Structure 1
Amino acid sequence: MADHHVIATRDEYLEAVEAIAAGNGPVAVDAERASGFRYSQRAYLIQVFRRGSGTFLFDPPPIGRFDELNAAIADEEWVLHAATQDLTCLREVGLDPKHVFDTELAARLLGMPRVGLGTVVEELLGIHLAKEHSAADWSTRPLPEPWLVYAALDVELLPDLRDAIAALLEEQGKTGIAQQEFADELARDLKVVRSEPWRRLSGIHSIRGIRNLAVARELWLSRDELARTTDIAPGRLVPDASLTAAAKAMPETKRGLAALREFNGRASRTELDRWWEAIEAGRTTEDLPVMRGNGDTLPPPRAWADRNPEADARLKAARAAVTALSEELSIPIENLLTPETLRRVAWAPPAEIDAASIAAALAEWGARPWQIEATSQSIAQAFVEANQNGPETAEADS
């Protein structure tokens, strides 16, 4: 097999754009990042395949912007697998599709139990697709030839996979559903900024004490700054478990921090001054965090029976109804209606409960038209029955 050439100059890139524009049919696109190795989520390889054009492997950092390619294929359908994983890094370099066909999402809508690319390709096309390089450090240069073979296959099979899935969607009467879901993916804000991102620290819920929480926050922020500066994944500097352990232990001195066995990682000792400064900042700050994050988050469902028994009854009844619909339609329950949407409507339902009011409430929380059509009547009926039967019946049924 001939070596796969990586396009890394503007002149070669512009030649490739002309070739891709001259092809026919949908454009298969994929991107490889260095998640777990780098702080940024930028693309370190972008693969494109189009019938009549061939396969093209682009090295994004030296090429820069891909505006010319975007203009050449903007009106075509782009085929991606798990589009939401790649759209952000593609948009960073100017690749922003108007129409997508997401083979992973479509496979979910078909009710396939496993939707990884290798599994779906093997089931629908009968081709075994090895996935051993999916978690590789794609910022490596030069990229090994086996990695490039893997990357090329990822896009070369997508058009055939798209056609096979599209036929099944049509057969199951789900083409319109898929189109709504694809449009929602494109419209979704994939770069949501969290107000307190440090609360994503693994194990943070085990930390007791406001001052300990402040130390955890300062350690997380300090690590994040170092990770951003060095473009190294935070967990490769110091793992979450180490930050949590330090926040719980609250060492009295820098030497005590260094002696803490649980505080490890490649930068745990080389950056010891940084971590100690963060601990001291957490110890002395007057800007203390609250134990729970801000926002309009609902209590966990297990607490509903005590805090809002009527809502608990509605949720249990509606969840059973939506589960039954999910099985009937062969669509995973989380795709039929997100659990968060159902919880929101169950917690604060409309004053008058009927299919129309439930439909309006679902739409307010972002449900798509097909989801509303499929679930609103069943949810309304479940709410009415729950209100009539009361919390005791719901508890007995659960």
Structure 2
Amino acid sequence: MSYLTNPFAVPTPPGAEPTGAAAPVQTQPAQRQPSAIAPDHDGDDSSSEPGPAARAPRQHREQQHSPGALPTQASAPDATGHPGETPNAAAPEEAAETPESPGVPEGSETGAEPDSVAGAGEAEAEANPPAIPLTAPRDGVPEVVQEEHALMAAAQALRAGTGPLAVDAERASGYRYGQRAYLVQLRREGAGTWLIDPVGCPDLSPISEATADVEWILHAATQDLPCLREVGMVPHSLFDTELGARLAGLPRVGLAAVIEHYLGYSLAKEHSAVDWSTRPLPEPWLRYATLDVELLAELREATREDLARQGKLEWALEEFAALTHFSGPPVRVDPWRRTSGLHKMRSRRAIAVIRELWYARDDIARQRDISPGRILPDATLLAIGQATPSTPEQLTKVSTQKAVRRHQREWLAAVQRAAELPEEQLPVTSLPSDGPPPQRAWADRDPIAAARLTQARAELMQFAEDRHVPVENLLTPDLLRRVLWNPPGTDEAVIDTALQAGGARAWQRGIAAPIIARACRDHA
């Protein structure tokens, strides 16, 4: 595959004289030809207060990369959610209504900039040159592994490689029921990139066994680890570039933003929300999937250097070690309570109707392997629950959606089951909480506890601001409230024990325990 743009060449800085012909791009011929299969995701692009890394010029490309070639892959360190997205298209039967795209505001006319402003802009542009588009993998797009013999060849190649293993997975969030992987991308120095189809190869444990002593590199690991575990891939050590960037204080931590910040390349994300269960996967999707792991090794090295420079590397290594045990979020009690608009149902009987409709929709979605929201959106469930129809005619007056007519027997049966429930079997309006009351009620319920919380939060926020790290990464808000509402004592060691029982890591306890103990002593 030829490059549309050379993604690995370093542009001549503005004002600099060219020194001669650029070195040729160092590429290896693709050993596997393109096939037709393809990708989905990226870390959540959330924000935090920008730190030194966020404000520093993009120098890693110029300092670390030789012209025309990527740097050598770094060796493994000495130690250590895809949220469903709105799909691009839907079958007419299951498609839910989607809001119109927000309009693009018209640009306003501006006059010429003052010389001082223009000069500042030129200086900034020179310090931060435009990102280089990354349009094609250096080795081309590999053939997708779909059979057992090819999987064993991939395992052998990856075992013989060197350095850490870049890992990514693509799911069909918003299209299919569940969060299974539909494509797994792997890259390791000396082994190249491998795209594996978990539908054709549902057991990827040979890959896990071949790389058992190898550090994995993932971006937003909590999104991919559960679906990778389902296919037999479990890491023994890992480096999460999304979490690392968050701890380093970057204001945006999506994969494209972090690659641009540290390495100076722009990575297109136009295929992040496609239906990865599609077969065959189109070649542009496969190219996108290949590029998702193309620079993870270089990104890991740059992120690690930044964390070490800020004195945060040990924090990150503790977090990464904890992630190796992550198997997914805890199972929710009464998952139907997440139905949008449930608060509008005032009576226990009305809530029971929504519960029965939710489980009916979930059963249909599971049987057809379709995302529940594509069967019926929550708004339609709510409308049926409010109308409580008892006949097909009454049901069609609520909604004319095809899925309402197609599965009318299930919807009417759900409404009927709720109507026949004895009073003592109706769900409660809300589940009892095992934690402290909402923060807004603290001042009335326990003013001293409220004062403890105010003081501790202020100190933690100041620490977070000074060290350029999101305050929620220092300690989860829920654990902070639990300890401060009913503190086990005022001694720092006792507070440390309570934080450890709540899941706080050693580095978090070292920061939070003295702050919490002081607040408890000041407001005993």
Same fold (TM over 0.5): yes
Deviation at 1:257, TM superposition (A): 2.4
3-state SS, counterpart of residue 373 of structure 2 = helix
Measure, in 1, the Cα distance between the counterparts of 2:364 and 2:379: 17
Measure, in 2, the Cα distance between the counterparts of 1:184 and 1:214: 39
Instruction: From 354, 359, 384, give the equivalent of 2:521.
Output: 384
Q: 2:509 aligned with 1:367, yes or no?
A: no
Tell which has more relative contact order, 1 or 2 (C-alpha 8 A, sep 6+): 2
Q: 2:246 aligned with 1:129, yes or no?
A: no
Deviations 1:36-90 (A, max 9, x none): 0000211100000001110100111111201111111011000000011001110
Q: 2:216 aligned with 1:78, yes or no?
A: yes
Unaligned ranges ≥5, structure 2:
2-32, 35-140
3-state SS, counterpart of residue 142 of structure 1 = coil
Instruction: From 279, 283, 299, give the equivalent of 2:415.
Output: 279
Deviation at 1:188, TM superposition (A): 3.2
3-state SS, counterpart of residue 322 of structure 1 = helix
The residue type paired with residue 394 of structure 2 is G
3-state SS, counterpart of residue 128 of structure 1 = strand
Q: How does 1:319-398 map to 2 (within 5 A)?
A: 319-350=457-488, 352-387=489-524
TM-score after normalising by structure 1: 0.93
Q: 2:412 aligned with 1:269, yes or no?
A: no
Q: Percent identity?
A: 51
Match of 1:240 in 2: 378
Give the structure with the larger helix fraction.
Answer: 1
Rg larger in 1 or in 2?
Answer: 2
Match of 1:303 in 2: 441
TM superposition outliers: structure 1 runs of 4+ over 3 Å: 251-254
CA contact (8 A) 1:108 1:332 kept: yes
Measure, in 1, the Cα distance between the counterparts of 2:467 and 2:236: 29
CA contact (8 A) 1:239 1:265 kept: no
The residue type paired with residue 372 of structure 1 is R
Q: 1:55 to 1:268 in 2, by over 3 A?
A: same
Unaligned ranges ≥5, structure 1:
388-398
Deviation at 1:323, TM superposition (A): 0.8
Deviation at 1:294, TM superposition (A): 4.3
Deviations 1:132-176 (A, max 9, x none): 111110000110111111100101110000000011111111111
Shifted more, 223-232 versus 252-261: the winner is 252-261
Q: 2:191 aligned with 1:53, yes or no?
A: yes
Match of 2:393 in 1: 255
Shifted more, 24-33 versus 309-318: the winner is 309-318
Q: 1:35 to 1:188 in 2, by over 3 A?
A: same
Deviations 1:184-205 (A, max 9, x none): 1122341522231111212222
3-state SS, counterpart of residue 287 of structure 2 = helix
Measure, in 2, the Cα distance between the counterparts of 1:330 and 1:207: 43
Measure, in 2, the Cα distance between the counterparts of 1:254 and 1:347: 52
CA contact (8 A) 1:121 1:127 kept: yes
Match of 2:161 in 1: 23
Deviation at 1:335, TM superposition (A): 0.6
Match of 1:64 in 2: 202
Match of 2:309 in 1: 171
> RMSD of aligned C-alpha atoms?
1.5
Shifted more, 264-273 versus 145-154: the winner is 264-273
Measure, in 2, the Cα distance between the counterparts of 1:266 and 1:103: 44
3-state SS, counterpart of residue 323 of structure 2 = helix
CA contact (8 A) 1:38 1:231 kept: yes
Deviation at 1:297, TM superposition (A): 4.0
Deviations 1:357-386 (A, max 9, x none): 221221111111100001111122223334
Shifted more, 75-84 versus 340-349: the winner is 340-349
Match of 1:9 in 2: 147
Instruction: From 451, 457, 463, give the equivalent of 1:313.
Output: 451
TM-score after normalising by structure 2: 0.71
Q: 1:96 to 1:150 in 2, by over 3 A?
A: same
Measure, in 2, the Cα distance between the counterparts of 1:314 and 1:207: 37
Measure, in 2, the Cα distance between the counterparts of 1:259 and 1:294: 37
Q: 1:176 to 1:326 in 2, by over 3 A?
A: same
Deviation at 1:293, TM superposition (A): 1.6
Measure, in 2, the Cα distance between the counterparts of 1:309 and 1:245: 42
The residue type paired with residue 132 of structure 1 is E
Deviation at 1:239, TM superposition (A): 0.7
Shifted more, 320-329 versus 288-297: the winner is 288-297
The residue type paired with residue 109 of structure 1 is L
Instruction: From 140, 147, 157, give the equivalent of 2:295.
Output: 157
Deviations 1:220-268 (A, max 9, x none): 111111111111000000011221222233335442222114xx65522
Measure, in 2, the Cα distance between the counterparts of 1:322 and 1:245: 45
Shifted more, 116-125 versus 309-318: the winner is 309-318
Match of 1:214 in 2: 352
